[in-house]
Amino acid sequence: MSYLAESYERFMVPSLFAPWATYLLQRANPQLGEHVLDIACGTGIVARTVASHVGSRGLVIGLDLNPDMIDMARVAAKGDEIAMEWHTGPAEQLPFPDENFDLILCQFGLMFFTDRHAALKEMHRVLKKDGRVVLSVWQGLDRHPFYQTLHDVSLRHFGKSSVEAVFSLGNSDKLHNLLTDSGFRQVTMEPVSITAYFPRPEEFLAWEIDINPAEAPALQNLDKEAQQAILAAARQDMQSSLEEVLHENQVVLQFHAHIAQARR
């Protein structure tokens, strides 16, 4: 199991993804006995949260492309009363039969899929008739000024930024059209905002600015010392933005999302 997956579960899930999972499930309204699929499940917070709603007569399956995240999900779910299944694989090729699930959940995953339309068509295929999909995506980068600065700093120092992809489905009309074009009906969109609180500001910044040198043009072909110097310069450039969102030694940030609901 990777350090990244452990750090994600320990640091990001409690502050950000667990609160959002609660909002997602309020809209999904899972019922006892339902079969539920959590796509792009990460370390499994949505799957673990929904399990108590469907009970022992239900079924909960989590799927993610990253095997380290799935390994962490299995560890985190140990001891839960409701048994869950965990699968590694792409959302564009779901390893499940047609009309198999009552509910599909996808929390902040759709924007990362290689082929969003293919992934949604697969969700449509494995849903039972009148089954429902509930998913969340971040609103645009213009609604998240801290991350706009992070995007600019990353481009300047690393020659690459992954930030833009995170917020790439911020247009609700685009998301609505993706769902309808994939065969879904009764599509509704809801803007939702929450305030997240992150302890240990320096750890938060390290998490957000973490980058694989092999994927950053400006860090390639440099020795480790030179790479660390560039990383330190990027962290320094983010300090003023970090201080703007500090309150009582916590990072306090507003996050804005769209929650979409639709039926097969």
DSSP state of 92: T
Structure confidence at residue 228 (pLDDT): 87
Spatial contact of 242 and 201, defined as CB atoms under 8 Å apart? yes
Mean pLDDT per 10-residue run, the chain (264 residues)? Answer: 85 96 96 97 97 94 97 90 90 97 98 97 97 98 96 91 92 96 97 96 88 76 87 92 95 98 97
Give the phi and the psi of residue 197 in degrees, each rounded to 5: -120, 120
Q: What is the pLDDT of residues 97-117, one digit of tens each?
A: 999 999 999 999 999 999 999
Structure confidence at residue 179 (pLDDT): 98
Q: What is the pLDDT of residues 190-205, one digit of tens each?
A: 999 999 999 999 889 9
> Quick one: which H or E segment has residue 252?
strand 250-263
245-to-8, 196, 199, 255 alpha-carbon distances in Å:
21, 11, 12, 13
DSSP string covering 104-145: EEEES-GGG-S-HHHHHHHHHHHEEEEEEEEEEEE--GGG-H
> What pTM was computed for the model?
0.93
